[in-house]
Amino acid sequence: MFEGFTLDFIDLPEARLRVRHGGSGPPVLLLHGHPRTHATWHLVAPILARTHTVVCPDLRGFGQSSKPADTPDHRGSSKRAKAGDCVALMRRLGFERFALVGHDRGSYTAFRTAMDHPDAVTRLAILDGVPIVEALERCDVRFAQAWWHWFFFAQKEKPERAILADPDAWYGGSPERMGEENFADYRAAIHDPATVHGMMEDYRAGLGVDRAYDEEDRRQGRKVRCPVLCLWSLKDDLEALYGDVLGVWRPWAADLRGHGIDSGHHMAEEAPEELAAALLRFLEEEPAR
């Protein structure tokens, strides 16, 4: 897994991240979702690394990266805090500017990084996500049935107790579908109480400070300044919930394109070649004049 890549633990001002990096060329940072680790990219990253420098961290609070201290407002698990980690990490690796790809919960950190650090992000790819405030304001019976976990995970203590009673039954997954090493890494994460708590804190921040950041950006008329690619899994529920997924994103990005991927939710594992091809087309397209 990740042949030719280097595995490091890198100390940043506010976090210590486990990071896999390799390849050469223009830099691209890949951010995983819940409940995965950076290992979810093990089939995509080597394809991108043929022409790019690829960096895959465990997000703060996830995997083997450090866990932020608990506070009443969950600010240490906010996407703003994690965006700061992204910029600091890439600078430590020698990159002031980089392309950014985020899936699922990682898409919220990717979006926040592009909003808060527009001079650092050259291109933004969002996989299976819309801005948090858009999801919450569109919440209806369909959303509550499909994404009820957003609200359960935001409760105090109870989700950790439920998940840790039987993590394998809660999350599922198998080495046959995920690959043996990726599955082993993921399984270690979901059996670690500190990591499960860190993942729940990501959701608690989402309903509070992260939503507030999105609302303030909208009041100020801020948009993502770089080109944006939005991809969604056709066998997941983003289209069912929102219909025109790109329509949700248009108020947030002037330079926008996107389409569905023939995959279930974990597209990096289920459709790695199609995903990598779509990302490479986006990363290598000529800038608009």
Please identify every residue annotated as catalytic. Answer: 104, 265
Torsion angles phi and psi, residue 67, rounded to 5: -110, 130
Strand ranges inside the chain, DSSP E: 6-11, 16-23, 27-31, 53-57, 98-103, 121-127, 228-233, 256-261
Respond yes or no on whether the N-terminal peptide bond of residue 287 is cis (omega within 30° of 0). no
The residue to which tokens 């000529």 are assigned: 286
Question: Token digits for 167?
Answer: 């993590």
What is the C-alpha separation between 121 and 91, in angstroms, rounded? 12
What is the C-alpha separation between 217 and 224, in angstroms, rounded? 10
